[in-house]
Chain A
């Protein structure tokens, strides 16, 4: 469960990217965050992830208040959240396989299990033929799929996906959403930020609409 209470985020004093945002996302839900460019979608996801801290307000993730948990526990919490970054944030000089395996290595998953899970995920996302390529040499869509694979491979409790289909063709977008749906049906909470109308119409059970940093429902 994710809860925000009166969250405001200002990157600098004159301007707030999020203004007094309160919301509640139940465990096991698929939720869309929608809104025009610059509305604050990425900021909202980063605040839920804990990589940006709110200027005001409180966040509770799985019953824990971010203000109260020590940095080491934030690291632990991150291991249970899969984040698909809008700008991918892959390691450019490492291979596709290594990028995806990193999430598992960090958690201390054994070599054999790691291999099995990574290859399965790469197959799912149709990127297996690039497994040994450095990610810097991949196309935007391919990189996006690696980013998705890295977030999903660790079976996270929560998936935060920031424009996960922004670089994918319509067919691949649908397949990715199907994958999220499947993961969701196994109990994972999924939050997708997007301004792709087609996806929203087709998949949104619930959408939180942001407009200039405010929730408008």
Chain B
């Protein structure tokens, strides 16, 4: 099967390059189309990452407060925090002592602290502010966390905002479904474009393939130049998409005031994104050509 392939790898690569050189217009068209699709895919991914970050911001707003029963103040903040963190789904727990609660209250009454002068014992209970892991931001799981917290010995009362929770969980579901749908569509589009171009090249070389078969060429020997061509198209498309993405990101950041540039979060560093785009192009190019070849050689 691989007879002749190993000894002639450089010849086969050269052959693929020659095909591209003989029809540069088609090669450029493929690279640009592929580049566009990959850039859209990458843009979308960046938007998705940013949406998710925004969602995490929302998640921080969904928290619960557990009031500590008065008799348990002697337990000590560390023990109480540890108990809270031990409940499944809890991300962080912040102990607010009676004194801290009073101070907070005084701060919020700025200028009118005198209202409290009459009170000489602190009426406020100690509390624990709990944040929940993103994965539990969904009404049923969140409810389980609330139950877990409520079962702690020292827990008096649990307060949380259910309305925020519902909104947040709906938003998260929406972005996930959207991401999946658009991702699948874009990937399919990219594979379709490359498959089609490679198919055209294969049809243009139909007679040549027939001659190769007649002379005794094996499948690998016939397929390799086309696969290499597909991979090269893919790499070129990757380069084009990197260019488009740079221009796009520059345009976006130029229109966002400097002090707000944190608004755009990149999912990874520039070299990592570039490498990801190049390898995505490479893999899609290779897969597409194998798909169209197998169909043709059947």
Contact = CB atoms under 8 A, between A and B. Distances in A.
A72 to B, nearest CB: 7
B40 to A, nearest CB: 36
Contacts of A111: 7
B268 to A, nearest CB: 43
B115 to A, nearest CB: 94
A59 interface: no
B208 A91 contact: yes
Interface stretch (A98-106, A165-173, A196-204): A98-106
B206 to A, nearest CB: 12
A52 to B, nearest CB: 11
Contact of A106 (B6, B22, B210, B218): B218
A110 interface: yes
B153 interface: no
A106 B7 contact: no
A48 to B, nearest CB: 13
A107 B84 CA distance: 72
B189 to A, nearest CB: 32
Interface string A67-108: 000001001101100010100011101000000001101111
Interface residues of chain A: helix, strand, loop or mixed (majority): helix
A67 to B, nearest CB: 20
A150 interface: yes
B4 interface: yes
Interface in B24-61: none
A109 interface: yes
B217 interface: yes
A78 B211 contact: no
B1 A108 contact: no
Interface range on chain A (Cβ under 8 Å from partner): 20 to 34
Given A93-B22, A108-B6, A103 B208 contact: no
A83 B213 CA distance: 12
B183 to A, nearest CB: 39
Given A72-B1, A91-B208, A93-B22, A105 B214 contact: no
Contact of A105 (B1, B11, B210, B213): B11
A64 to B, nearest CB: 16
B71 interface: no
Contacts of A102: 212, 215, 217
Interface of B: 1, 3-8, 11, 22, 208, 210-218, 221
Closest 5 CB pairs of A and B: A78-B216, A79-B216, A108-B4, A106-B4, A108-B7
15 contacts: A75-B216, A75-B217, A78-B216, A89-B211, A89-B214, A93-B208, A102-B212, A103-B216, A105-B4, A105-B11, A106-B3, A106-B212, A108-B3, A108-B6, A110-B7
